[in-house]
Amino acid sequence: MGVTMNDVARAAGVSLKTVSNVINDYEFIRPATKQRVLDAISELGYETNLTARSLRSGKTSMLGLVLADLSIPYYAELASDIMKAAWARGYRVLVEQSGNEAEHEKAALQGQFRSLTDGLLFIPLALDAEQIITAAGKKPLVLLGEFVQDPRLDMVLIQNQEAAAAVTAHLLAGGRRRIAVLGAHDGDEAGSNGLRLRGYRAALAAAGVEHDPELVVPCGWRRDGGADATARLLDSGVEFDAVFGLNDALALGALHELLLRGRKVPEEIAVAGFDDLDESRFASPSLTTVAPGRAEIAERAVELLIERIESKDAVHSVQQPKAAFAMKVRQSAP
Partner DNA sequence: GGCTCGGTATACATCGTTGCAGATGTGCCG
Partner DNA sequence: CGGCACATCTGCAACGATGTATACCGAGCC
Positions in the binding site for DNA (CB under 7 A):
2, 4-6, 13-18, 20-21, 23-24, 27-30, 32-34, 46-49, 52-53, 55-58
Binding partner selected for residue 73 from a second copy, DNA, none, CB under the kind-specific 5 to 8 Å limit: a second copy
CB atoms closer than 10 angstroms to residue 2: 7
Handedness of CA 48, 80, 159, 120 (dihedral sign): negative
Rounded to whole angstroms, how far apart are CA atoms 76 and 79? 5
Build a one-symbol-per-residue string for 86-125: x at contacts with a second copy by CB under 8 A, - elsewhere. -x----xxxxxx------------x-xxxxx---------
Antiparallel, parallel or unpaired: β 119-122 and 141-144: parallel
For residues 5 and 309, which CB has a smaller minimum distance to DNA in the complex? Answer: 5
User: Applying CB under 8 A, which part among 24-32, 81-89, 141-149, 164-172 lies near a second copy?
Assistant: 81-89
Hey, which bits of 281-331 come out as E strands? 289-291, 326-328
| CB 99 to a second copy: min, Å | 9
Handedness of CA 73, 328, 88, 47 (dihedral sign): positive
Binding partner selected for residue 113 from a second copy, DNA, none, CB under the kind-specific 5 to 8 Å limit: a second copy
Binding partner selected for residue 80 from a second copy, DNA, none, CB under the kind-specific 5 to 8 Å limit: a second copy
| CB 16 to DNA: min, Å | 5
Among 223, 300, 328, 330, which residue sits at the site for a second copy (rule: CB under 8 A)?
223
The reply on whether position 83 binds a second copy by CB under 8 A is yes
Yes or no: say if 60 and 120 are a contact pair by the CB < 8 Å rule: no
User: Applying CB under 8 A, which part among 14-22, 25-33, 44-52, 209-217 lies near a second copy?
Assistant: 44-52
Antiparallel, parallel or unpaired: β 242-245 and 326-328: unpaired
Binding partner selected for residue 188 from DNA, a second copy, none, CB under the kind-specific 5 to 8 Å limit: none
Identity of the amino acid at 195: L
Binding partner selected for residue 316 from a second copy, DNA, none, CB under the kind-specific 5 to 8 Å limit: none
Torsion of CA 218, 330, 324, 202, to 10 degrees: -50
Q: In terms of Cα–Cα distance, which of 184, 187, 188 is closest to 247?
A: 184
68-101 burial: b if 16+ Cβ within 10 Å, else e:
beeebbbbbbbbebbbebbeeeebebebbbbebe
Q: In terms of Cα–Cα distance, which of 213, 157, 158 is closest to 186?
A: 213
Binding partner selected for residue 152 from DNA, a second copy, none, CB under the kind-specific 5 to 8 Å limit: none
| CB 113 to a second copy: min, Å | 7
For residues 47 and 130, which CB has a smaller minimum distance to a second copy in the complex? Answer: 47
Among 9, 79, 135, 203, which residue sits at the site for a second copy (rule: CB under 8 A)?
79
CB atoms closer than 10 angstroms to residue 240: 20
Binding partner selected for residue 24 from a second copy, DNA, none, CB under the kind-specific 5 to 8 Å limit: DNA
* 3-state DSSP assignment of residue 122: strand
User: Would you tell me which residues interact with a second copy (CB under 8 A)?
Assistant: 1, 47-52, 54-55, 60, 69-71, 73, 76-77, 79-81, 83-84, 87, 92-97, 110, 112-116, 138, 222-224, 227, 252-253, 255-256, 259-260, 278-279, 281-286
